[in-house]
Structure 1
Amino acid sequence: MNVARIRQLTLHHHSQPFSFRSLHLASSSRQAGLFTPRISTLQSTSPLIRRAFNSTARDLIRSSYFPKGGNDGYGGGYGGGGGGSWFSRLRSRIDRIPTMTLIYGLIGLNGGVFLLWQYAISSAQRFRDPTLFFFLQKNFILNEVNVFSGRIWTLVTSAFSHMSGSHIFVNCLGLYFLAPAAAGLMGSSAFLGLYLGAGIFSSLTSLTYHRLKRDRWMGSEGASGAIYACLSFYGAMFPQSTVLMFFVIPMPVWVAISGIFAWDFYGALFRPNSGTDSAGHLGGITYGLLAALAMRRGGFIRMLRGGGRRW
Structure 2
Amino acid sequence: MARGNLQYNFARLNIAEKLIVVNVLVFILDGLALALLGKSVVDWFQLPKDFIEFFGQPWSLVTYSFFHAGFGHIFWNMLMLYFTGRIFMNLFNGQRFINVYFLGVILGGIVFLLSYNIFPTLLGTNSVLIGASAGVTAVLIFICTYIPNQDVRIIFFNVKLWHVGAFFVLVDLIQIAYGGNIGGRLAHLGGALLGYIYARQLLNGNDIGVGFTKFRDAIAEPFKPKKKKAPLKTVYKKNTPKKRSTADYDKEANQRKIDAILDKISKSGYESLSKAEKDFLFKAGKED
The verdict on a shared fold, with TM-score over 0.5 as the criterion, is yes
Q: Letter of the aligned partner of 2:88 in structure 1?
A: A
- Give the CA deviation at 1:266: 2.5
Identify the residue that residue 150 of structure 2 maps to in structure 1: 241
Counterparts of 1:108 and 1:303, CA distance in 2: 26
- 2:102 aligned with 1:196, yes or no? yes
Counterparts of 2:34 and 2:46, CA distance in 1: 14
- 2:23 aligned with 1:110, yes or no? yes
CA separation of 1:114/1:106 partners in 2, compared to 1, >3 Å: closer, same or farther?
same
Structure in which a larger fraction of residues adopt helix: 2
Tell whether the 8 Å contact from 1:156 to 1:200 is kept in structure 2 after alignment: yes
Q: Letter of the aligned partner of 1:170 in structure 2?
A: W
Equivalent residue for 2:140, pick from 214, 224, 231: 231
Q: What secondary structure sits across from 1:122 in the alignment?
A: helix
Tell whether the 8 Å contact from 1:237 to 1:292 is kept in structure 2 after alignment: yes
Equivalent residue for 1:156, pick from 41, 48, 62: 62
Equivalent residue for 1:251, pick from 147, 154, 159: 159
Identify the residue that residue 266 of structure 1 maps to in structure 2: 174
- Identify unmatched segments of 5+ residues in structure 2: 1-9, 212-288
Within-5 A mapping of 1:59-74: none
Counterparts of 1:303 and 1:172, CA distance in 2: 26
- Give the CA deviation at 1:142: 4.3
Equivalent residue for 2:33, pick from 108, 117, 120: 120
Within-5 A mapping of 1:1-311: 100-125=13-38, 130=39, 133=40, 135-144=41-50, 147-214=53-120, 215-245=124-154, 247-268=155-176, 270-274=177-181, 277-300=184-207
- Give the CA deviation at 1:260: 1.8
RMSD: 2.8
- Give the CA deviation at 1:147: 4.8
CA separation of 1:156/1:302 partners in 2, compared to 1, >3 Å: closer, same or farther?
closer
Q: How many residues align?
A: 199
Instruction: Please say which structure displays the higher CA radius of gyration.
Output: 2
Q: What secondary structure sits across from 2:24 in the alignment?
A: helix
Q: What secondary structure sits across from 1:243 in the alignment?
A: strand
Counterparts of 1:235 and 1:99, CA distance in 2: 27
The percent identity for this pair of structures is 23
Counterparts of 2:48 and 2:88, CA distance in 1: 26
Q: Letter of the aligned partner of 1:259 in structure 2?
A: F
Counterparts of 2:140 and 2:80, CA distance in 1: 9
- Identify unmatched segments of 5+ residues in structure 1: 1-96, 305-311
Counterparts of 1:210 and 1:282, CA distance in 2: 15
- Give the CA deviation at 1:192: 0.9
Counterparts of 2:183 and 2:190, CA distance in 1: 13
TM-score normalized with structure 1 length: 0.57
